[in-house]
Structure 1
């Protein structure tokens, strides 16, 4: 704050008032302070604020199974606890603004580092924090605009596993329903599926359906795949949420069309037939994320690494329905 005051040519107390949202500071003066803050890359130290106010602005949530719907987070938490680290998780809901707010809130609290499941198109705003020593590891999707350690699933290999398995059951008209292509995994998996169709000599038109995961969109995609003179006899779904939406849309017709889902989930084995899936190495992804995080803390100057974790096909019945 002393540096900001010197840069802006104002008193230290003026900087404090601007940082704390005091609206009585004159507009021109406040703008000079804000420009100095931007120029110097100043971030308020939340710990200092907490000492002054006696409040942290955070809520501790100790609940039964916060990570049940996020198996990678569960593996991250277990591995972190084994290493004497504490994980504070925040949800971004695949929203770029919410992601930045969550990440910068963590930066302001001067955590040792951040693991992030990126959604935004650019993460350049993290560069000053990285330059200041913040350890950052991305998982599931790469961060863009910054070089950080990254743990990915083998998206292309997983889609190839699903496609090849259905082709081995005799299917030639295989369709795909997946996530929005603005998301890295949705884009990667849809592209891999198109490659599979091209390699098999099949048509692409009307066979690949990425997009937002809504009941209406999924039902429309499913209807298009299953109608017409030459309907799809098998379907690959691009992630857990899409698989569930497709199963709901099929209703009593589940089992009439061969289906392989990307991502395993609880109860998939209790369906009739059980859902055949391409399972990500969730435990390995979580453990590797924490291992890279610890390595970055120990040696901030080490070369950036990207680790790709292989996928596995689990057969349960839905993907073995013959043509």
Structure 2
């Protein structure tokens, strides 16, 4: 989501398309603007040239013709307040002379695609993406035309891009070992849906921890949608058996909130399991007991993303680079409790 100056590949223009198709510039313009009076053969030649060159219409030029941009700016006080990665990236970008325009994708694949393509076609130099969908091949033509893309938190599937990731597996191992070292042998995992890269990495790492200790995996790993009903169902499954879990690892902060909500409503305080959550949050230290968490290093991730973006803008042909940022355990109390004796 950056706008900057620097050396980059030249995007093909309508002049290039006209030359490739062997038609007048006005014919290309009519095809791009879906003029139905263009002859079929001319339209075919223009479309072939567009596909060959990877041409994408310039939305700014179209705005001039329409007299309207169909774009609304949002300038509010704390858009990034709930996203520490974005807050840190903004700070670094502005310090580097870059302007940042952000939009939420709301975990929706189609919205992500529309937002990213709109940014690309408005002439943005780079886009920082927290990927959602399983296929980002739509980015390939934009990247070939010079768009710098950096993925953060999760990698992009499709074209090879720069990426900044947290060390998810190491974080789960820390959480599991913290609970095991406090006497827990029945440890369960409640996490996000495994179609998401981070959720898949964390669930797989937890399974590996169980296997390494010779403990059963069946019925102890519960990934799925981060909806309260699903989380509550998973908790009942691991807490209501003859050998209930005495400790939990939560796969992300949304899952942690769901787990805490269920325990507060249905489980007496003196019977609640020990918990380690993945992701820190502002009020974690004020809970009773305070929440032990695996904390991602948001400033380091944002700094790495900004470095990759500026490097990509300066050297578009460089090979893609992945940076994995370490995480850390913050022990506050909820993960340092021994098993509840029935």
Which TM-score bucket, shorter chain as reference? over 0.9
Deviation at 1:278, TM superposition (A): 0.2
Secondary structure in 1 aligned to 2:99?
A: coil
Deviations 1:115-149 (A, max 9, x none): 11112222222222222222111111111222221
- For 2:281, the equivalent position in structure 1 comes to 265
1:199-214 aligned at under 5 Å gives the runs 199-214=212-227
Deviation at 1:56, TM superposition (A): 2.8
- For 2:338, the equivalent position in structure 1 comes to 322
Of the structure 1 ranges 188-197 and 255-264, higher mean CA displacement relative to structure 2 is found in 255-264
1:138 aligns with 2:154: no
Aligned mates of 1:283, 1:7 — CA distance in 2: 47
Aligned mates of 2:34, 2:276 — CA distance in 1: 53
1:239 aligns with 2:255: no
Deviation at 1:151, TM superposition (A): 0.6
Q: 1:27 to 1:242 in 2, by over 3 A?
A: farther
* Structure 2 contact 190–255 (Cα < 8 Å) conserved: yes
Match of 1:178 among 191, 203, 215: 191
TM-score normalized by structure 2? 0.88
Aligned mates of 1:305, 1:14 — CA distance in 2: 41
* Structure 2 contact 31–43 (Cα < 8 Å) conserved: no
* Structure 1 contact 170–322 (Cα < 8 Å) conserved: yes
1:103 aligns with 2:116: yes
1:32-181 aligned at under 5 Å gives the runs 32=44, 33-181=46-194
Q: 1:48 to 1:174 in 2, by over 3 A?
A: same
Aligned mates of 1:184, 1:28 — CA distance in 2: 44
Of the structure 1 ranges 215-224 and 82-91, higher mean CA displacement relative to structure 2 is found in 82-91
Secondary structure in 1 aligned to 2:208?
A: helix
Deviation at 1:21, TM superposition (A): 4.3
Deviation at 1:29, TM superposition (A): 6.2
Q: 1:31 to 1:206 in 2, by over 3 A?
A: farther
Deviation at 1:8, TM superposition (A): 5.4
Secondary structure in 2 aligned to 1:308?
A: strand
Q: 1:3 to 1:251 in 2, by over 3 A?
A: same
Aligned mates of 1:302, 1:5 — CA distance in 2: 31
Question: Aligned Cα RMSD in Å?
Answer: 2.0
TM-score normalized by structure 1? 0.93
Deviation at 1:35, TM superposition (A): 4.6
Of the structure 1 ranges 147-156 and 126-135, higher mean CA displacement relative to structure 2 is found in 126-135
Secondary structure in 1 aligned to 2:188?
A: strand
Deviation at 1:94, TM superposition (A): 2.3
Of the structure 1 ranges 232-241 and 2-11, higher mean CA displacement relative to structure 2 is found in 2-11
Secondary structure in 1 aligned to 2:100?
A: coil
Deviation at 1:12, TM superposition (A): 3.8
- For 1:282, the equivalent position in structure 2 comes to 298
* Structure 1 contact 43–108 (Cα < 8 Å) conserved: yes
Secondary structure in 1 aligned to 2:282?
A: coil
* Structure 1 contact 14–25 (Cα < 8 Å) conserved: no
Q: 1:21 to 1:203 in 2, by over 3 A?
A: same
Of the structure 1 ranges 155-164 and 73-82, higher mean CA displacement relative to structure 2 is found in 73-82
* Structure 1 contact 18–25 (Cα < 8 Å) conserved: no
Aligned mates of 2:212, 2:256 — CA distance in 1: 25
Of the structure 1 ranges 10-19 and 58-67, higher mean CA displacement relative to structure 2 is found in 10-19
- For 1:305, the equivalent position in structure 2 comes to 321
Q: Which runs of 5+ in 1 are unaligned?
A: none
Secondary structure in 2 aligned to 1:296?
A: helix
Of the structure 1 ranges 97-106 and 35-44, higher mean CA displacement relative to structure 2 is found in 35-44
Secondary structure in 2 aligned to 1:72?
A: helix
Deviation at 1:208, TM superposition (A): 0.3
Aligned mates of 1:117, 1:30 — CA distance in 2: 40
